[in-house]
Structure 1
Amino acid sequence: MLSEGASYTPLPGEQTLYQSPPRTTLSLQSADKHPPSQAYSQQCKSGVVYLTNRRIIYLPVTATSEFQSFAVPILNVLDSRVTAPWFGANKWEAVVQPVYGGGIPPQHSELELTMEFKEGGAFDFATTFERLKERLKQAVEVARESGLATGDGTESGGGQGGGALAGVNLNSVHLEDLPAYSPAVQQTPLIRPEPLPASPRRESVASASSPTAANRSSSLSSPRQDTFQPPSDPPPGYEEVQRGSIADELERRLRNAEERDDR
């Protein structure tokens, strides 16, 4: 599990998603239901936490004969949460299920895990872990529906092909954050309006800048602006009306003359 340097030996296809500062503590405790004689406890005050697409790995800064490393598969971690005490650094707590043959006594089916991030990073670790665990669960469900998954709900061993991820294509699991959704901006293409067919009125106005066009436009004036010319022939019945008017005038003058003679 350990490499020649200060890191770990990755499994085939394993990628590191998070690495904590070196001053991170680790505490493993057995549940209270066990008697004191069977209790299990492991402590480390300074180490580095690695979160990969397969496991949580803790490597102490100074290894001892009692404790050299700790690792747990992602799907074997339950009830994880971040606690922020009034005093001290933030902690990440969870319940882990040990794998078979991993160095923990077999009578302990669950252990309480606590990691204290003294130099920060608890929330970053928790956010990355929850996103990764959810996507691994979805990959397992898809593999089960297609009949490819052969494991149960948890990892039974530390090998590549055992446990819940047996038969799951880890290359299809998206490890990075998906881009935030933003509505697509539809760019409306510029549509140039087609020119309307020119009417005689538009042509006269458009060409009014030239002297010839100006003379032509002045000749196309409104009928109201034309000079009135009287008709050469008299209207119908004009002569009858004229004769009647003359007769009436003569009769009126004769009547007036007779009245003067009588006086």
Structure 2
Amino acid sequence: MSINWVMVNENNGNLPFILLPNEEIKYESPLERTELLIRQVTSIKNKRIINATGKVYLSNHRLVFISAYGDIKSFSVLLNQIKTHKLETPWFIGPTLWKCIFITTSDKVSGLVENENYELQLKFNEGGIFDFTKIFETVHTNYVNDQADELPAYSEF
């Protein structure tokens, strides 16, 4: 099962998926050992949890996860759907995690409940979490600023 619309690249090029128009890859995890966990935030009853292990790609438009094994084959979330994000480091023992909250859209192709908040958690088992976080901050900020540039300018009466 795939969540959201990741079009798989059949000709086995450099990337296992097809890029969107004007999309550029900014980060690629080193190996297929990054763990993904997705869980519904708002609903306690029938809480859906998705686990997979694979590779993370970050572009200037979206975050893409291609699974090596697990509950899903692929996952994608657009940057404008990500509402909050943080790096979580344990006090003593345990992995450093990157977490975000995203909201699903009403496109009926996501495989998730429409207009719900979900928590996405990434655990980088082969390193790269700090590089990912730094690049994500830059890409997300640029994306948000580009969206703000499209707003009409204020005019005086």
TM-score range, shorter chain: 0.7 to 0.9
Residue identity opposite 1:94 in structure 2: C
1:144 to partner: Cα distance: 0.7
CA distance in 2, matches of 1:87, 1:136: 34
Match of 1:20 in 2: 29
CA distance in 1, matches of 2:125, 2:95: 5
Give secondary structure in 1 for the equivalent of 2:141: helix
Deviation string 1:49-81 (CA, Å, 9 cap, x unpaired) is 00001000001113x6x5111110112112211
Match of 1:94 in 2: 100
Q: Which one of 51, 69, 77 corresponds to residue 43 of structure 1?
A: 51
Q: How many percent identity over aligned positions?
A: 25
Match of 2:80 in 1: 75
Aligned-pair Cα RMSD in Å: 1.9
Q: Is the Cα contact below 8 Å between 1:82 and 1:126 reproduced in 2?
A: yes
1:146 to partner: Cα distance: 5.2
Return the TM-score normalized by structure 1: 0.50
CA distance in 2, matches of 1:27, 1:52: 20
Q: Which one of 144, 152, 155 corresponds to residue 145 of structure 1?
A: 152
Residue identity opposite 2:87 in structure 1: V
Deviation string 1:204-234 (CA, Å, 9 cap, x unpaired) is xxxxxxxxxxxxxxxxxxxxxxxxxxxxxxx
CA distance in 2, matches of 1:2, 1:9: 6
Q: Is the Cα contact below 8 Å between 1:15 and 1:52 reproduced in 2?
A: yes
Match of 1:11 in 2: 20
CA distance in 2, matches of 1:124, 1:78: 20
Q: Alpha carbons of 1:96 and 1:145: their partners in 2 closer, same or farther (altered >3 Å)?
A: same
CA distance in 2, matches of 1:20, 1:58: 10
Q: Which has the larger radius of gyration?
A: 1
Query: Which aligned runs of 4 or more in structure 1 are off by greater than 3 angstroms?
Result: none
Give secondary structure in 2 for the equivalent of 1:75: helix
Q: Which runs of 5+ in 2 are unaligned?
A: 1-6
Return the TM-score normalized by structure 2: 0.82
1:128 to partner: Cα distance: 0.8
CA distance in 1, matches of 2:18, 2:94: 32
Structure with greater contact order relative to length (CA < 8 Å, sep ≥ 6) = 2
Match of 1:236 in 2: none
Give secondary structure in 2 for the equivalent of 1:18: strand
In terms of fraction of residues, the more helix-rich structure is: 1
Q: Which runs of 5+ in 1 are unaligned?
A: 148-263
